[in-house]
Chain A
Amino acid sequence: MTNEAKTKASSARRFLRGVRDGLPIGLGYLAVAFSLGITAGNVGLTAFQGFLASFLNNASAGEYAGFALIAARASYLEMALMILVTNARYLLMSTALSQRFSPDTPFFHRFLIGFNVTDEIFGLAIAQPDAIDPVYLYGAFSMSIPGWSLGTAIGILAGDVLPANVVSALSVAIFGMFLAIIIPPARRNRVVGALVLISFAASWAFAVLPLVAGLSAGTRTLILTLSISAIAAALFPVKEKEGTP
């Protein structure tokens, strides 16, 4: 076997290994994106628009917040700020990933991998012992991206045909998933637990109190997220180990 053939064979194997590790992620995304699609459908997005949004964004909380802003006909600036805040954690993940590229890896891979840094893909990437292998990650992308974008479109289509009481029941699925993400760390970490409770209370207060209740839901989310997180970061700086997601 020539050297070139060897490299080809091994990159096919690395790609397939990524496909194998990405398959459960893709299936999980299909289910999460389905409930996101129900929300998108409630907001009035077509299946194609939902597909496009998910294909280009690959972010559950960010997209949910974005869809709420579309429904509220928010300003474009508000939309940009909202996505910046709800996806801010990807800044940290991408920064961490930037440390793990081998100097031998061609630079253009960073532009492609940057397209799909999600919580799960980040987990997969840092679970690898060596430097980041773009081919392996592209294999995982080939499962996760279709799962995510098609799941959203399917959710929107399903929302159109299912009875109203089923759709309103499915509409809380996204909140269930958010709870499943925040409650376990809230149980383990007292500061996170207190923050979740404070966030619930403050969010409720902002929704009912005169003056602030007049602000859009998006603006309230922005203000509360920035202020509560900043105060918490000042009062309870995390230890080095926790700071890496």
Chain B
Amino acid sequence: MSENVYIYIFIMAGVSYLIRVLPLTLIRRQITSRFLRSFLYYVPYVTLAVMTFPAILGNLDAPFLEILPGLAALVVGVVLSWFGAGLFPVAAACCAAVFLLQFLT
């Protein structure tokens, strides 16, 4: 797949750059559409939530014991974030939860 990877990377880079540079160079006014502003406001939360669950559990067809570490990471991550822990502590705690519970399986 090595010959395709660079094309993927350049597509990612090209789209990312256009998204950022077109508004900076073309749009000189605020976006006024309330729908569009609301849509852009909600997108990051929805996309991150969709990408997190159920992916955090790993292979969904696996027996429950194998999903358990990911489930623990989810619970730990949600609880710590709820109480305001930062990016790094939350991530570290999720890793620790998975690392420890792996020994059960």
Chain A residues close to B by CB (< 8 Å): 28, 31-32, 35, 44-45, 49, 52-53, 56-59, 61-66, 68-70, 73, 76, 79-80, 83-99, 101, 107, 110-111, 113-115, 117, 165-166, 168-187, 192, 195-196, 199-200, 202-204, 207-208, 217, 220-221, 224-225, 228-230, 232-234, 236-238, 242-243, 245
Contact = CB atoms under 8 A, between A and B. Distances in A.
Contacts of A62: 12, 16
A61 B19 CA distance: 14
A99 B32 CA distance: 13
B9 to A, nearest CB: 5
Given A172-B98, A204-B53, A98 B27 contact: yes
Contact of A110 (B5, B21, B81, B85): B21
Contacts, number: 290
Contact of A172 (B15, B20, B73): B73
Given A98-B23, A181-B87, A225-B50, A89 B44 contact: yes
Contacts of A186: 45
B41 A238 contact: yes
B90 to A, nearest CB: 4
Given A172-B95, A196-B45, A165 B102 contact: yes
Interface residues of B, number: 74
User: Do most interface residues of chain B lie in helix, strand or loop, or is the interface mixed?
Assistant: helix
Contacts of A172: 56, 70, 73, 94-95, 97-98
A233 B9 contact: no
Nearest to A38: B95
Given A57-B13, A173-B91, A173-B95, A203 B49 contact: yes
A111 B21 contact: yes
